[in-house]
Structure 1
């Protein structure tokens, strides 16, 4: 790349770019002036020259585009891209810029692309994984970009760990439906249809606790993963009713009720008291 900004003024260059059906003649006889409005405020000479090239590729002559590869090299990209792209460089000064005179495009390798569909039973979108993802969070984000294109689709992707992601319904209960399909779905999912269930009301348990003055109705309607969670649920309801009783864990399977004030007699009752306590 010439260092003298007036190099092309004193040594004009000319070459042609053709796609086989249309040819564009490019002449360089301009000074390489930084900040010239015609140069798009280029930062180095390669960007200035790329800008000059692009000034010729306009309208019906837009058969290629130029860009600075670095501060000393300019590359051309034929349009359209892919295997149908072809550029032929000609003219008296072609060797000054290009080491070869014919360039043929290639189709992008899509062999590693993966595709599947996600449906909530009503709305469906297609997920195309066609780039290198930095990590599992990036992959989940890429999937969510596709899911958000269909705003009514009730689904979201999220990272589970460094090697696993999941797609879950944003609905709950029996309304939570997800179906995956498409060419590569078996590479990601071992189940194709996911259906939620409404909470089973018959699993709930209810009893009452009285300290002789006030009574609390305790409703156990959650999915308690441990006895600690169950004890906390009971205590929360006892405190809300201002009953002077608290629940205490005995072991991983059992809890008891104890008065918080001396002289109080605990009285239990309700639908499921006898299932939970032995007097």
Structure 2
């Protein structure tokens, strides 16, 4: 059995993120890392591997040269191999074009299952799984807290505010997992050393028989960005004569916080 897990290299959310002159994310303005939500996808794929026989986990990403660090982290966690789609012409690709590129890569890899995070921590759209399922014609099961495979069936547990749902789908399938699916493992020194010997293939658009990609081929484009306004000083209410509570209620009411 072969599992593909999608891993995205994103700017560190704790850093100062900026846009480039063409209104795409300036990925050199902040340190990058494997999207935290994708770590849960890698973890679930590895748990399926550990519970089964002859299971291979392949980490797939697309992006510039630095995006290979996302694959590196997945390999250090325990993935078996990596695929990096890297081509100058993919710069500025929106979600629709990204899904076309990733779907072509998935078809070339030929997995039984694709595991994704619930969203990325930079774009935050949460649509990639659905787009891939539509392009590939596969079943999609979303927002799982637990994932397992039994023969030709993937089983997913989904926890909501009011219920727990158990969903099954025939393979091949796309599944997404949430941050409630269990803490992602920390790479051990043994796995860090072993990752250096694992195979990572680099593909471009020609390898995927694709031509149209990037900003010009995208269906959507960011036309304008503005910096976040500086944080203003908070209002201090001094209760010297017993009127502090009334002033606080007035402030909350005026701001429609109540």
* Interval of TM-score (by shorter of Structure 1 and Structure 2): under 0.3
Higher helix share: 2
- With the length of structure 1 as denominator, give the TM-score of the two structures: 0.22
Q: State the structure with more CA Rg.
A: 1
- With the length of structure 2 as denominator, give the TM-score of the two structures: 0.23
